[in-house]
Structure 1
Amino acid sequence: MRQRSKQVLPENELAQRRRDRALEADETLRELFAKATADGGGSGIVLVAVGGYGRSELSPFSDLDVVLLHEPGLDEDHVRAVAEAIWYPLWNDNVALDHSVRDTVQMREAAATDHRAAMGMLDARAVAGDSELVTALRSEVLADWRREARTRVQEVREARLARIERSGWLAHSAVPDLKESGGGLRDSVILRALVATWLIDVPHEESESLRNSLLDVRDALHEVSGRRVERLDAELIPEVARLLDMNPEELDLHTRQLGRRIAHLCSLAWRRIDRAVAPTRKPKISATGPVVTRLAEGVGLLDGEVIVMQRADPAIDPELALRAAAVAARDGHPLSAGSAARLAATMGEMHDPWPKSSTRLMVDLLTAGPGLIPVWDELDFAGVIDRLLPEWGPVRLRGSSSPVHSFTVDRHSLETCVFASEVQRDVARPDLLAVAALLHDIGKGVDGDHSVEGEPMAVAIATRWGFDAEDAATIGRLVRWHLLLPTIATRRDIEDPSTAANVAEVVESADFLELLAALSASDAQATGSAAWTTWRRGLIEGLVSKTQAQLDDAVASPDPQAYEGWPAQVPIPEHGTTGPADFTLEVEAHKDGSLLTVVTSDRHGLMADLAGAIALAGLEVRSARTVTLGDAAASLWEVSREDVDASRLSERIRPALAGEIDLAARLELKPADDAVGSRIRILDRLSETATLLEVRAHDRRGLVWTVCHEIASSGLSIRSAHMSTYGTEVRDVFYVVDADGNRLDDATAADLRDRVEAALG
């Protein structure tokens, strides 16, 4: 057991010292008040301690928050004389004084218009003088606070959000502010004020314990710095840690954990406030309880929170955690703390490797944008992330050694994912970008160069998460080289041809360069303003452009050879009918989906009609290929569902081919629920016999039909179509030919691109 030095400050002693300082201040103020009112002028006047002093929580260099309160109508000259007799001796002794003089009416009015004054009065106590004035005023302020709580809490919320915007989060800021940061001392005081509204309750003992522990850290910080300071700078941590009998890393983690727990309590409190102040609605009640809106299998929405439904069983369906998280992050709803705790306690083991459905859900979560962060935090606080990503523990709340970083390693990684989601349409594989964004600093949890150490860790994680060996290796390479572009761009002459040539040797392909550039930009923006200046951005983009010129394949696209022709292993069925709605359909299992082979009479717009019919059947198209055989057309559709009923699907296809369904009305494309517009490109020089139209967009029902319909409406035909879905993003490539079966001319191709872009919004 460690031996404490004489200078170590035990926790109970620190709390007692705060109380002792308050008592000492009380005695001083009482003496001054007695002298100031020695002539008998103490009636109707009182010295009041407010704020931290009112709570008897005085740190070594805290301000002394005092109000000289008096009855209305008391002689102003007398009040001024009493005030000066108290303030001047304190100023002469260099006491940090935050003082004011008000009558009870003024004080109540101030509390009614300034939530900070009201919150200070909630902790007010009489130090010297007429204590009944304080008791009566505090009761009135508290009654006002409760009566007007529904509007006052909004003032508190707005001020809090503005403060956190300035000061960041205690748990995740590179240099946390113990008082002003989210999860700091001000937040712990806000919890007291919210409870005082009677709208909600929070765990009182836990909240008070957390604040007292954080006050201990601040007391030690004051002792070390010898002045009033709230920011826990890195150079002060070793000495502060010594006073608290900790090592520096232990103190840093301890402080951030306190901030994390206070922030979590605040999050729960504000959710309860939102429910309490929401317009009164009669809850929907069924025979079994409140009605839950179903969002996904086993996942619902109740009181504005995403929950795991009662009948769902995480023990046999561990993917439930990913489903709930992905839905919550995508829709911007909070994930219920109770559901997160239930998942952590009961979820079963994930398969190793994960099934493709789990992989997609993780990608959905990581590409959700800003909604990712609160949902991930809730899962992490409950312990679910440890089940999904055990390697997260060593980087959790870990401070960065780099002065340019604004966040801890874990929060920086999540912020990188958010920035990556904004450029996911700029890359061919947004799923690989999202996972690399999360894992690019995972090596900081072990000794050594984090890029080198992180590569095999990322490969192992990606493999466990269900990515194939090639994709896992790409994610690993992105982690290994995520600092390559900013390092070379800022330390080498990018105008020297050998610089771009050397980078090209490392990246090897335009696809990888595209991913690496997006990761580099996202990483830099998540690091902070100093890492993504106009100068740095220009250098990196210049290097990327010059490196692209060094690569043979300057446009990221699939291998065209993989798209041309009919798969040799798929036999083409006999087609014995000639009517426009006559067709044959064969269904067979294929990987984790099905292959549909449709043979019918060839006609213009056939692919669009088939795509519409398949969409109405609720099937997700992965690829489509077609070939004409005389007057017949055979098409092969790869779909995601395994249990396709051929007879039921035929009943969907037949009226679509016969023109009996208004596909345009049934498949009206809904606006995408993201802020990034669809990207439509003509991929030049990839085929001598067709024009390749690439669509990068948010996945939506009817999207494939919309593109096929625009192509057909332009008098053009689709020779083959190839769809890939990564999370909520699609990367579709259509091989388009004109009426004579030839490649489109430039003007026609440009017009088609514009028409599809307009149709997709």
Structure 2
Amino acid sequence: MGRGARSPRRRRRGRHDGHRGQRLRPAEGPHRGVPRRGVRRLARPQDPARDRRGRRRRRDGRQHRHVRRADRQDRRRQGLGRAGRVGRPGAYRRDGRGRPLTEVPWSSDLSTQLAQQRRDRSDEADRLLRQLFMETTGSSESGGLALVAIGGYGRRELSPFSDLDVVLLHDPAVSPVRVEEVANGIWYPLWERRVALDHAVRSTPQMRARADDDYRAAMGMLDARSVAGDEDLVTALRADVLRAWRRRARERVAEVRAARAARIGRAGWLAHDAMPDLKESGGGLRDSVTLRALLATWLVDLPRKDAERLRARLLDVRDTVHEAAGRRTDKLIPELVPELAERWSLAPTDFDVGVRDVGRRIAHLAAVTWHRLDESLERDRHRRVGRRGPRIETEAPGVGVLDREVVITRDADPRTDPEVMLRFAATAARRRLPMNAAAVQRLVQDLGELPEPWPETTRRWFVELLSAGRGAVEVWEELDLAGLIDRLLPEWSGIRLRGSSSPVHRFTIDRHSLEACVQADALSRDVARPDLLAVAALLHDIGKGRRGDHSEVGAVLVRNILRRWGFPDDEVDVVSRLVRWHLLLPTVATGRDIEDPLTAANVAEIVRSSSFLDLLAALTACDAMATSDQAWSGWRRGLVLGLVEKVRSVLAGTDDERPGYEGWPPDRPMPELSGVTEQTVRVATENHHDGSLVTIVSGDRPGLLADLAGALSTAGLSIRSARIVTEANVAVTLWEVSRPDLDAQVLQQRVRRVLDGAVDLAARLTAVEDHPRVGVLDAMEQTATLIEVRALDRRGLMWTVARTITDAGHLIRSAHTSTYGDEARDVFYVVDADGAPLAPATASGLCDAITAALTAGPSARRGD
């Protein structure tokens, strides 16, 4: 039976809605529910491929029989169909087949196998529960008692380590003694078999009351399935819960929406988080179950086949994650990705991108569904209707707002005016309104080519889109999903949904770049050219995923991109340099001695102007804040801002030259050194940023810095930097550590025990298996040799390196550490006995010695 207009006298078949079987509601039609309002004497269709009743003929000449087709709205009217052909469609041409931007060749054989295994696990669990139920009750259909599978088990979607969600349902007339006897006869044998069980015992009124009180319980009961016992009891309960769900849908959707927002706030997004949760993250399995529940309200419709296909893909991935991890987990752990990709016969990157793309599409379906739901709940409340129909609020040429959606007006022609896409997107981002789905589809099909280079107005609208704050993220991602971003920036495909190799990144590279744009909008008043800052924030990581240093590769790409976008040559040069040096400030601030005047002088030679320094400092902050809280901690922020001020002084010519600098910060007074002997140990602490500064005064001796590093490490402190100054056999060391509120007396006692030889540091600070990288940094005009150590972060790392440098007869002027996840990058300023930098051959030999010390076992380090 077709979906076109039909006479109300014509009998309509009951059709299913996928939740309660057949004949639950009449078929949907244009005049449904309005008696005696059939449309008579309709004009016959002009399409020669259709008959007089509008039905398309089959190629073999027979007619289609649309019997019991699932009710749904026209997907093209929903704006959820595949993208059509680019260009103008013919009179009777159907939409062309679209192709996903990140298409991954998933193995259909493996998917079929995994789906069958899920059903087999559910069937096996059913058989076990039926057997226990029959053994306990003496009948497989005991009246008033039933075992009910809910949730994933109810949907027959058991993964290898899934729990069995089972409820023993009973009629209130059944005696409590009988209910307890049956429950014990079922639960105890399951526990003895070590079955992961999430169980409950409830009467039908209790189940209804719980569904009324807790929407989560109600959603779980929507998938309830009778396993054993009284099926009528389960059918009646499910019908009551479903009826109540639909009756209270308008108030329940607010609870569901708030809970979803809180969940995503905790778990992030499957498409963009560094370590997403396949179940809890936005776009994950929890979202797909929520879509099923929203569909059951009858308030909204969605392309169910697409949603179920995407959900099945995530279930397949979760099954393989369980198998690879050997335990229950929904986290897509990066370490498991190579093994998972091999199971799917995919490259690790393709597998990771493929999973994220599934999450992105589910999230998009969820966003569209929530928007359609809002429309159905608030229809006509905000519409302004004039004499000639709904009134559109004009926002820009060819762009307006209608029904709280941004639309493209009828007089606009994307074929001849492709700039309308940027006006459309910028308006939606600025107003924080959704883009009309039909308008997006119109752009997909009809958008012409933008001229190259872009006109100034096009650039201005593009920058306005990037400068729209949080609204730009949502708009950009929807355009990207539709394939329109590649029309503006083909290079975006290289970072789309790509995970970062850095453990401190919380987002994929593409989402990180968009988050940097959000931060750039917040810092727009701190720079003279916020437009260049916004563009640099978008493109600063565009070189990732390609061979070579991503900063150098990105700088070259950016020159080509900005010339295509019509930027003047001087602005192209500024943005390219920003991309090239966007890691300069954090690298120098955390890995160099910023108190050394030469450090600021070297940076000043690169930045060359205060205006560029302002842009670079703002881009550094945007990049770090978009990375993670760890990347822009109080300590890192303080170091970067301190370096920026020193470089600004150099550029202004107001810096104080200190050629005799020996490692002590000039803004800190030296502690009192009178009365210090060889046995003296004085410790003072003060809070600094999010950690502490520890000053230790003691008698100088060989290996002192290494022993003090060992003492702080055994105290459980993570060392960020260390400086040492010696004067008349007295050593003053300044340590920056990660923990605030230290007890100076307790720390002094621990340091004294180490210096007295009462602690075996080699035994306490055991080695780990590692393959460190040790090298000499190529620095300009440094007064010391800079040795960089890249190794696994662990307690005693600095002690091992410092001890090796001391044993080689060299001196450490200062040390600076940075930690990225479990990776440490430490830089040591090393001089010889005369205070001069090491000769190249000597430095190379020292690097080899440090590498050997870091790879040696504990016994070798103790000299046994």
Question: What TM-score, normalized to structure 1?
Answer: 0.71
Task: Determine whether 1:359 maps to 2:459.
Answer: yes
Report Cα offsets for 1:670-702 as digits up to 9, x if no partner.
xxxxxxxxxxxxxxxxxxxxxxxxxxxxxxxxx
Hey, what does 1:130 align to over in structure 2? 230
Aligned-pair distance for 1:467? 1.0
* Aligned partner of 1:343 among 426, 443, 466: 443
Given that 2:133 and 2:139 are in contact with CA atoms closer than 8 Å, whether structure 1 keeps it comes out as: no
Secondary structure in 1 matching 2:652: coil
Question: After alignment, is 121-130 or 310-319 more displaced?
Answer: 310-319
Report Cα offsets for 1:215-253 as digits up to 9, x if no partner.
111111111111111011111111111222222111101
Looking at structure 2, the residues matched to 39 and 453 of structure 1 have their Cα atoms a distance apart, in angstroms, of 73
Looking at structure 1, the residues matched to 382 and 633 of structure 2 have their Cα atoms a distance apart, in angstroms, of 53
Hey, what does 1:541 align to over in structure 2? 641
Hey, what does 1:421 align to over in structure 2? 521
Given that 1:500 and 1:550 are in contact with CA atoms closer than 8 Å, whether structure 2 keeps it comes out as: yes
Secondary structure in 2 matching 1:294: strand
Looking at structure 1, the residues matched to 139 and 299 of structure 2 have their Cα atoms a distance apart, in angstroms, of 47
* Aligned partner of 2:268 among 156, 161, 168: 168
Aligned-pair distance for 1:340? 1.8
Report Cα offsets for 1:714-742 as digits up to 9, x if no partner.
xxxxxxxxxxxxxxxxxxxxxxxxxxxxx
Secondary structure in 2 matching 1:443: coil
Aligned-pair distance for 1:41? 9.4
* Aligned partner of 1:261 among 361, 368, 393: 361
Given that 1:337 and 1:378 are in contact with CA atoms closer than 8 Å, whether structure 2 keeps it comes out as: no
Hey, what does 2:558 align to over in structure 1? 458
Give, as a single letter, the amino acid of the residue that structure 2 aligns with 1:465. Answer: W
Given that 1:214 and 1:258 are in contact with CA atoms closer than 8 Å, whether structure 2 keeps it comes out as: yes
Report Cα offsets for 1:373-410 as digits up to 9, x if no partner.
11001110111100011110110000101100000000
Looking at structure 2, the residues matched to 395 and 307 of structure 1 have their Cα atoms a distance apart, in angstroms, of 29
Looking at structure 2, the residues matched to 281 and 316 of structure 1 have their Cα atoms a distance apart, in angstroms, of 35
Looking at structure 1, the residues matched to 380 and 246 of structure 2 have their Cα atoms a distance apart, in angstroms, of 18
Aligned-pair distance for 1:497? 0.6
Looking at structure 2, the residues matched to 131 and 90 of structure 1 have their Cα atoms a distance apart, in angstroms, of 22
Hey, what does 2:474 align to over in structure 1? 374
Secondary structure in 2 matching 1:342: helix
Looking at structure 2, the residues matched to 308 and 158 of structure 1 have their Cα atoms a distance apart, in angstroms, of 31
Task: Determine whether 1:81 maps to 2:181.
Answer: yes
* Aligned partner of 1:52 among 152, 159, 183: 152
Hey, what does 1:468 align to over in structure 2? 568
Aligned-pair distance for 1:73? 3.7
Give, as a single letter, the amino acid of the residue that structure 1 aligns with 2:347. Answer: N
Relative to structure 1, the CA distance from residue 8 to residue 463 in structure 2 (aligned partners, 3 Å threshold; closer, same or farther) is closer
Give, as a single letter, the amino acid of the residue that structure 2 aligns with 1:210. Answer: L
Give, as a single letter, the amino acid of the residue that structure 2 aligns with 1:406. Answer: R
Secondary structure in 2 matching 1:428: coil
Secondary structure in 2 matching 1:442: coil
Task: Determine whether 1:294 maps to 2:394.
Answer: yes
Task: Determine whether 1:484 maps to 2:584.
Answer: yes
RMSD of the alignment, in Å? 1.6
Looking at structure 2, the residues matched to 374 and 235 of structure 1 have their Cα atoms a distance apart, in angstroms, of 30
Report Cα offsets for 1:596-626 as digits up to 9, x if no partner.
xxxxxxxxxxxxxxxxxxxxxxxxxxxxxxx
Looking at structure 1, the residues matched to 458 and 142 of structure 2 have their Cα atoms a distance apart, in angstroms, of 73
Given that 1:8 and 1:245 are in contact with CA atoms closer than 8 Å, whether structure 2 keeps it comes out as: no
Task: Determine whether 1:67 maps to 2:156.
Answer: no
Aligned-pair distance for 1:466? 1.8
* Aligned partner of 2:297 among 197, 203, 214: 197
Secondary structure in 2 matching 1:10: helix
Looking at structure 2, the residues matched to 536 and 357 of structure 1 have their Cα atoms a distance apart, in angstroms, of 39
Given that 2:282 and 2:359 are in contact with CA atoms closer than 8 Å, whether structure 1 keeps it comes out as: yes
Give, as a single letter, the amino acid of the residue that structure 2 aligns with 1:455. Answer: A
Relative to structure 1, the CA distance from residue 158 to residue 40 in structure 2 (aligned partners, 3 Å threshold; closer, same or farther) is closer
Alignment of 1:131-530 (within 5 A): 131-278=231-378, 281=381, 283-285=383-385, 289-530=389-630
Question: After alignment, is 106-115 or 243-252 more displaced?
Answer: 243-252
Given that 2:144 and 2:233 are in contact with CA atoms closer than 8 Å, whether structure 1 keeps it comes out as: yes
Please list every run of 5 or more consecutive structure 2 residues that lacks an aligned counterpart in the other structure. Answer: 1-106, 655-864
Looking at structure 2, the residues matched to 494 and 95 of structure 1 have their Cα atoms a distance apart, in angstroms, of 59
Hey, what does 2:702 align to over in structure 1? none
Looking at structure 1, the residues matched to 131 and 198 of structure 2 have their Cα atoms a distance apart, in angstroms, of 19
Report Cα offsets for 1:618-643 as digits up to 9, x if no partner.
xxxxxxxxxxxxxxxxxxxxxxxxxx
Alignment of 1:83-122 (within 5 A): 83-122=183-222
Aligned-pair distance for 1:290? 3.2
Looking at structure 2, the residues matched to 39 and 178 of structure 1 have their Cα atoms a distance apart, in angstroms, of 40
Aligned-pair distance for 1:464? 1.4
Looking at structure 1, the residues matched to 438 and 213 of structure 2 have their Cα atoms a distance apart, in angstroms, of 36
Looking at structure 2, the residues matched to 303 and 39 of structure 1 have their Cα atoms a distance apart, in angstroms, of 59
Aligned-pair distance for 1:341? 2.4
Hey, what does 2:681 align to over in structure 1? none
Aligned-pair distance for 1:468? 0.1
Looking at structure 1, the residues matched to 296 and 110 of structure 2 have their Cα atoms a distance apart, in angstroms, of 31
Given that 2:382 and 2:403 are in contact with CA atoms closer than 8 Å, whether structure 1 keeps it comes out as: no
Aligned-pair distance for 1:281? 2.9
Hey, what does 2:6 align to over in structure 1? none
Aligned-pair distance for 1:75? 1.2
* Percent identity of equivalent pairs: 59
Looking at structure 1, the residues matched to 383 and 304 of structure 2 have their Cα atoms a distance apart, in angstroms, of 29
Aligned-pair distance for 1:279? 6.6
Bigger helix share = 1
Question: What TM-score, normalized to structure 2?
Answer: 0.62
Please list every run of 5 or more consecutive structure 1 residues that lacks an aligned counterpart in the other structure. Answer: 1-6, 555-761
Looking at structure 1, the residues matched to 326 and 468 of structure 2 have their Cα atoms a distance apart, in angstroms, of 46
Looking at structure 2, the residues matched to 475 and 501 of structure 1 have their Cα atoms a distance apart, in angstroms, of 22
Aligned-pair distance for 1:93? 1.1
Looking at structure 2, the residues matched to 70 and 164 of structure 1 have their Cα atoms a distance apart, in angstroms, of 36
Looking at structure 1, the residues matched to 139 and 600 of structure 2 have their Cα atoms a distance apart, in angstroms, of 87
* Aligned partner of 2:118 among 15, 18, 23: 18
Aligned-pair distance for 1:76? 1.2
Aligned-pair distance for 1:271? 0.3
Aligned-pair distance for 1:39? 7.6
What is the total number of aligned residue pairs between the two structures?
548
Relative to structure 1, the CA distance from residue 273 to residue 467 in structure 2 (aligned partners, 3 Å threshold; closer, same or farther) is same
Looking at structure 1, the residues matched to 300 and 390 of structure 2 have their Cα atoms a distance apart, in angstroms, of 20
Report Cα offsets for 1:97-118 as digits up to 9, x if no partner.
1111111111111111111101
Secondary structure in 1 matching 2:278: coil
Aligned-pair distance for 1:294? 1.6
Aligned-pair distance for 1:304? 1.5
Looking at structure 1, the residues matched to 444 and 109 of structure 2 have their Cα atoms a distance apart, in angstroms, of 37
Looking at structure 2, the residues matched to 553 and 163 of structure 1 have their Cα atoms a distance apart, in angstroms, of 53
Given that 1:126 and 1:134 are in contact with CA atoms closer than 8 Å, whether structure 2 keeps it comes out as: yes
Aligned-pair distance for 1:205? 0.5
Secondary structure in 2 matching 1:69: strand
Looking at structure 1, the residues matched to 570 and 415 of structure 2 have their Cα atoms a distance apart, in angstroms, of 32
Secondary structure in 2 matching 1:445: coil
Given that 1:9 and 1:244 are in contact with CA atoms closer than 8 Å, whether structure 2 keeps it comes out as: no
Looking at structure 1, the residues matched to 551 and 203 of structure 2 have their Cα atoms a distance apart, in angstroms, of 64
Relative to structure 1, the CA distance from residue 71 to residue 94 in structure 2 (aligned partners, 3 Å threshold; closer, same or farther) is same
Relative to structure 1, the CA distance from residue 181 to residue 211 in structure 2 (aligned partners, 3 Å threshold; closer, same or farther) is same
Looking at structure 2, the residues matched to 475 and 282 of structure 1 have their Cα atoms a distance apart, in angstroms, of 43
Given that 1:9 and 1:243 are in contact with CA atoms closer than 8 Å, whether structure 2 keeps it comes out as: no
Give, as a single letter, the amino acid of the residue that structure 2 aligns with 1:92. Answer: E
Give, as a single letter, the amino acid of the residue that structure 1 aligns with 2:490. Answer: P
Looking at structure 2, the residues matched to 40 and 339 of structure 1 have their Cα atoms a distance apart, in angstroms, of 57
Looking at structure 1, the residues matched to 437 and 367 of structure 2 have their Cα atoms a distance apart, in angstroms, of 10
Secondary structure in 2 matching 1:517: helix
Looking at structure 1, the residues matched to 154 and 412 of structure 2 have their Cα atoms a distance apart, in angstroms, of 49
Aligned-pair distance for 1:311? 2.5
Given that 1:354 and 1:464 are in contact with CA atoms closer than 8 Å, whether structure 2 keeps it comes out as: yes
Aligned-pair distance for 1:344? 2.3
Aligned-pair distance for 1:553? 8.3
